């Protein structure tokens, strides 16, 4: 697995995950939208932690400085 998520991209993904998690747990997003928010946040956080985004491989994108 080659790293394809850069530093700025990683920070954006972590912030997005935190915001979506907050919106869900504060009760501002409920029901289906809440579940979707949690899933999207979890995926964003996971891809930030492992520095790899499978979608980037499919479209040929890379945000690292290599």
Q: What is the pLDDT of residues 55-66, one digit of tens each?
A: 999 999 999 987
Supply the pTM of this predicted model.
Answer: 0.90
The answer to whether 44 and 16 are in contact (CB under 8 A) is: yes
Q: What is the pLDDT of residues 5-43, one digit of tens each?
A: 999 999 999 999 999 999 999 999 999 999 999 999 999
Residues 39/2/7/45 CA torsion (nearest 10 deg): 10
Looking at residue 51, the DSSP 8-state letter turns out to be T
Which residue ranges make up each domain of the chain?
1-35
Handedness of CA 10, 16, 18, 21 (dihedral sign): negative
């Amino acid at each position: 697995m080659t790293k394809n998520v850069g530093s700025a991209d990683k920070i954006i993904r972590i912030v997005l995950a935190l915001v979506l998690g907050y919106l869900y747990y504060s009760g501002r997003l409920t029901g289906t939208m809440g579940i979707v928010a949690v899933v999207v946040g979890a995926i964003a956080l996971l891809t930030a932690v492992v520095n790899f985004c499978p979608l980037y491989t499919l479209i040929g994108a890379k945000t690292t400085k290599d």
